[in-house]
Amino acid sequence: MKSFFKQLLITSTLLITACGGGSDSSEQNSNPPTSNAPTTIQQAIDQATSRGVDAVWVYVVNQDGTGQAHVSGQQTRQPQEPAQVNSLFKIASISKLYIAAATAKLAAQGTLSLDDTLAFWLPEYSNRIANADSISLRQMVQHRSGIPDFDSQQGFSWELSHTNIDTVLAYALDLPADFSPNARYEYSNTNYLLIGKILDKALGYSHHDYIQANIVATLGLADTYSLLSTIDQSRLAHGYWNNVDRATQDYVIPGGSMIATVEDTARFVHQLNAGDLLSASEKAQYVYFYNHSGWVPGYQSIANYHSDIGKTVVQFVNTTGNNSEAIATQTYENILRVLRN
C-alpha cells in the first residue's frame, strides 16, 4: 500500500513539474497527442469513464475568476446515480494546502513562528520523536523533518477508518528518524498530523474552526467541510477501491480529512495562487506547495494552478486502484492539452 501511495505522489509531482507547480508553468506536457486525443474537456472525461473509472469531476477557474464545471459517469453504483456538479468529495491531502495557509496566517500575526521547534509546542513528544528539539515548524510544513510517515509503518492499514488522531500518531512514535532535520525532502503525513496539534494548541481551539472562519468563510466557499461527520452524507460521491464502496470509511487525520465540491476546491486553489487569500506578510510566511494531489481509498484528486494559461484545474475521480491512477493522470494531461490549444 505504501509503495502504491508513493507512486501516486511521484506521478502527481511529475504532473505539477510539467505544468508549473507553484511557479512558471509554460513547459508543455511531453506526451504527444494520439490520433484519438480528445478535443474538448467533456470528451476527455467521457473517455476516462469509458475506460473504467466510475466518475470524473473537473472544474476550471479562468484568470478573470469565471469557471466551468464538467462531469461524467456515475457517483454511485447501487443504485446507479449520475455524477452531480455539486457532489461532495473527500479531497484527502489537498487539505494540507489549507493547513499550510492557516500556518502562514498565524505566523504572520505572531501567534507562532516557523522557527519554533516541535518540542516547544508539543513537549510531550520530546522523547518519542527523534530530533524533536531541533525540528522546526518550517521543516514540518515542507516535509523536511525526517519524521517517519505513519502510513509506512507495520500495522497501519488503509482498509480501515482512522478516527483517533493519537492512535494513528502512535505508529510513528519511538522510531529512528528517517534523516536529519532539513537534510532532504520526504513526504510524511505525520508532519501535518503534528502541525494540526500545534495549531490547536497555539489557537486554544480547533484548527478546523480557524480554517473555516479565516479561509473558507473569507472566500465565500459554502461547500467546504473539515470532517466527514459534518456533511450531508446524501451529497457525498461514493468512492470505490478494490470494488468496495468507501463512502463511510472515515479519516479525521489533519492534512487529509476535508470534504468539498470540485468548484470550491478549485476556487480555493485559484485564490491561493492568483488571488488575495494571503496578504503580503502572510505570503512571506507561506513555505509549502501551491498545488497538491490527494488520495484516500476510493477518492483521488489533482488540484493545480497553471500560470502559463492563467487557469486552475481541479479533477476528482471516485475510483482508486487497478489502473485508475494512470487513467486519471492521462485524463488530466488531456485536459491541459485541450486548454492549451
* Residue 17 banded pLDDT, cuts 50, 70, 90: very low
Nearest to 338 by CA among 301, 302, 313, 305: 313
As a whole number, mean pLDDT of residues 195-215 equals: 99
Which pTM does this prediction carry? 0.92
As a whole number, mean pLDDT of residues 204-232 equals: 99
Nearest to 19 by CA among 308, 295, 317, 288: 308
3-state class (DSSP) for residue 73: strand
As a whole number, mean pLDDT of residues 11-26 equals: 36
Residue 117 burial by Cβ neighbours in a 10 Å radius (0-12, 13-18, 19+): buried
The pLDDT of residue 32: 54
Is the pLDDT reported for residue 4 higher than 60? no
Distance of alpha carbon 99 from alpha carbon 140, whole angstroms: 12
What is the residue-wise DSSP string for 275-316? SSSS-HHHHHH--S-S-EEEEETTEEEEEEEETTTTEEEEEE
As a whole number, mean pLDDT of residues 208-219 equals: 99
Nearest to 277 by CA among 267, 262, 264: 267
Per the CB < 8 A criterion, the answer to whether 247 and 238 are in contact is: yes
The pLDDT of residue 30: 42
The CATH class given to the 2-340 domain equals alpha beta
What is the residue-wise DSSP string for 90-130? E-GGGHHHHHHHHHHHHHHTTSS-TT-BHHHH-GGGTTTBT
Integer-rounded Cα Rg, in Å, for the chain is 19
pLDDT tens, residue by residue, 58-108:
999 999 999 999 999 999 999 999 999 999 999 999 999 999 999 999 999
Percent of the chain with pLDDT over 70: 90
As a whole number, mean pLDDT of residues 9-28 equals: 37
Bridging pattern class, strands 240-241 and 319-320: parallel
Is the pLDDT reported for residue 23 higher than 60? no
Is the pLDDT reported for residue 3 higher than 60? no
Distances (CA, A) of 31 to 15, 69, 73, 332: 11, 25, 26, 12
Distance of alpha carbon 210 from alpha carbon 203, whole angstroms: 8
Contacts of 52 (CB under 8 A, 6+ apart): 319, 322, 323, 324, 327
Counting every residue written for the chain, the total comes to 341
Average model confidence (pLDDT) across the chain: 92
As a whole number, mean pLDDT of residues 16-37 equals: 44
Sign of the C-alpha dihedral computed for residues 131, 133, 134 and 138 taken in this order: positive
In degrees, rounded to 5, the angle at the alpha carbon of residue 91 between the alpha carbons of residues 87 and 93 is 180
* Residue 36 banded pLDDT, cuts 50, 70, 90: confident
Is the pLDDT reported for residue 35 higher than 70? no
Distance of alpha carbon 72 from alpha carbon 66, whole angstroms: 21
Per the CB < 8 A criterion, the answer to whether 267 and 96 are in contact is: no
Per the CB < 8 A criterion, the answer to whether 128 and 169 are in contact is: no
